[in-house]
Amino acid sequence: MKLLHTLRPQSILYLCFACLTLFFVSCGDDNNPVIDDGKPVNKNANVVTTDKAVLRLEFPALKKTGRQQIIVHRLSNTDYDKDRVNFCTEWDCDKKSQRWSCYQLHRGFSGNHSRTGSFTADPALSEGDYWAEYTYFPGFDRGHICPSADRTFSKEANDQTFYMSNMQPQYHAFNGFDSKNNKNKGLWLRMEQQLQTWASNLGPKDTIFVCKGGTIDDEKNIIKRIDGKLIVPKYFFTAILRKYYINGKHEYIALGYWCDQTNSYRTNETIKQHCMSIEKLEQLTGIDFFCNLPDDIEANVEKNYNESSWKWL
């Protein structure tokens, strides 16, 4: 594995995987692995080398084959995050597509900075690792994976969400709304709005960890390639881990969201119809979510999905 870390605001880790042995390090906060009596309690945590961001709880297991680039979008101050992390993206340099973006939400995520950014190439990506000709996605929206609406606490944070590396081609009826009929909202948009509602109701010690993306690794999970190049995912997913403080300690619950992308508002379908356990979502995506949790907690929250644990609109 080769990693390169620059002094740009966005820390870049170039990941070229050959043989990879996962190891464990001792760290002391909720965004890092844990050592108990000198013994690892997490056997599948991500490797940490130059940037400990890969050990944050929102991160899934990094892909072990091909040419992947992990982009850590950092902010200029620690007002929102002590490590200045805004959100992170796994970019597949061979497919020239993003696999997922991951980030955190807490009660302070909202603010007054609305969508003012311009869609632009990610300065973290080298020429040849993305389709530079696609400033727009013909026939599709440029769908944010880390939403602009989840990063309104600063202009800098919001602007970073408009990097094209954070976009996937999405039908407007899946990603957006009908300006002539307020009842018509896409299933992806409704899921994002539900997540924002949950975040706005978090307690002061609570956090939601999110990993979202589209399916790019299996041909049967791809709608098409625009001009034979740009991948249009057939399915989109969201993995959600909620840490909440109750009875003097932190507890965790999780859920997965999996939805096929169609060019229809599908108002007869509910978000709940597309929710499932993380364990099932992992089977569908082939991604190991929340791998940085201690093994016992990870196993428990990933197999158990209790609909009643989530307050729905």
Could you report the per-residue pLDDT of 81-98, keeping only the tens digit for each? 999 999 999 999 999 999
Q: Find residue 111's DSSP bridge partners.
A: none
d(CA 282, CA 290): 10
| Percent of the chain as helix, strand, coil, to the nearest 5 | 20, 30, 50
Q: Does 23 or 265 have the greater pLDDT score?
A: 265
Q: Find residue 143's DSSP bridge partners.
A: 168
d(CA 162, CA 156): 11
End-to-end CA distance of the chain: give it in Å, rounded.
44
Q: What is the mean predicted confidence (pLDDT) over 250-254?
A: 95
In the CATH scheme, what architecture does the domain 10-309 have?
3-Layer(aba) Sandwich (3.40)
Helix/strand/coil for 104: strand
pLDDT score recorded for residue 16: 38
For the chain, what percent of residues have pLDDT higher than 90? 75
Residue 50, pLDDT > 80, answer: no
Instruction: List, in order, residues 6 or more apart from 149 with CB less than 8 Å away.
Output: 115, 192, 196
Range with the poorest average pLDDT among 28-37, 221-230, 285-294 = 28-37
Please name which of 54, 55, 80, 67 lies closest in space to residue 18, comparing C-alpha atoms. Answer: 67
Could you report the per-residue pLDDT of 9-31, keeping only the tens digit for each? 444 444 433 333 332 332 335 56
Residue 289, pLDDT > 90, answer: yes
Any idea where the domains of the chain sit in the sequence?
10-309
d(CA 15, CA 164): 20
pLDDT score recorded for residue 29: 54
pTM, two decimals, is 0.87
